[in-house]
Amino acid sequence: MKLHTIHTGNFKLDGGAMFGVVPKTIWNTLNPADSNNLCNWAMRCLLIEDGDRLILVDTGIGDKQDSKFFGHYHLNGPHTLDGSLAAAGFSRNDITDVFLTHLHFDHVGGAVTRQEGRLVTSFPRATYWSNEQHWKWAVQPNDREKASFLKENILPLQESGQLKFVHSPGFAPGIELRFVHGHTESMMLPQISYRDRTIVFMADLLPSVAHIPLPYVMAYDMFPLTTLQEKKSFLTEAVEKNYVLFFEHDPELECCELGLTEKGIRAKRTFRLNEI
């Protein structure tokens, strides 16, 4: 097995929404906001090269929305999905599986593209993976979350015939799934055995290193107290078992190990995936 970081670009979100009840005087030292209170975040995906399978975990925001939509999110940075795949030696046609942690637009937008006015899947040879509980939640969204579940990102996956649902925590040899329910219903975190380490793709349970302290829960989360309990349980386990955390949204840091300090569990060491 070989792992590749796939950078798909950065976008901006409101700092208050990203840090919830934490005051700006505190979080602004961690990820400084611009004059519009927006902080920059990565959309960092993961490519798993394993035998005859090439598994892409999440896809970034994509490029098919209109200028009004993108005007809200201020895409920036030098990276693109195609450019990062090419740097790893691959193209879209090489992807065998697209694993979607959840169906919010910044995770699934790149799964579908627009060609000659039609919406088609971006990875024509791939199987797309979600789970039945989250799919139902996404296609019948609640009023608070529906702006994150865009039908043009989701329905073409089913219409293509490429969509499948996972039915057990064992996704593939060496890849187990953790299900968490605070951010959204049935979000999936791949847990990967790699070079004698366990790497957990954090998705939106822990968007960044700055979100490790327990009170740092996003206002975007549907069930923040559930997130709080899920974080607490996971962080304790991660320290005990020396997991590597891979961050999808941290603007600079890819991975970290955790340690117990007088202030609680914090990042002990940060590093890039290719340093493992």
Residue 157, pLDDT > 90, answer yes
| pLDDT bracket for residue 117 (50, 70, 90) | confident
Q: Is 238 helix (H, G, I), strand (E, B) or coil?
A: helix
Give the per-residue pLDDT at 66.
Answer: 93
What is the CATH number for 97? 3.60.15.10
In our burial notation (b when 16+ CB lie closer than 10 A, e otherwise), range 9-33 reads: bbbbbebbebbbebeeeebeebbeb
DSSP category for residue 243: P
Question: For 38-68, what is each residue's pLDDT tens digit?
Answer: 999 999 999 999 999 999 999 999 999 999 9
Task: Please give the single-letter amino acid code of residue 128.
Answer: Y
Q: How far is it, in rounded angstroms, from Cα 33 to Cα 216?
A: 16
The rounded distance, in Å, linking the Cα atoms of 213 and 235 is: 10
218-244: per-residue pLDDT in tens? 999 999 999 999 999 999 999 999 999
| Structural domains in the chain (count) | 1
pLDDT at 61: 98
132/153 Cα distance (integer angstroms): 16
Average pLDDT rounded to a whole number, residues 15-42: 98
Detail the DSSP E strand segments found in 100-218.
112-115, 118-121, 127-130, 163-165, 170-172, 175-180, 187-194, 197-201
The residues that bridge with 192 in the sheet, in sequence order, are 175, 199
pLDDT at residue 87 in the model: 98
pLDDT in tens, 176-197: 999 999 999 999 999 999 999 9
Its domain, for residue 238, covers 2-275
Please determine, for residue 254, whether its predicted confidence score (pLDDT) is greater than 90: yes
State pLDDT tens for residues 89-113.
Answer: 999 999 999 999 999 999 999 999 9
Q: Is the pLDDT of residue 258 over 90?
A: yes
pLDDT at 266 over 90: yes
Q: Give the whole-number percent of the chain exceeding pLDDT 90.
A: 99
- The per-residue pLDDT of the chain, averaged, comes to 97
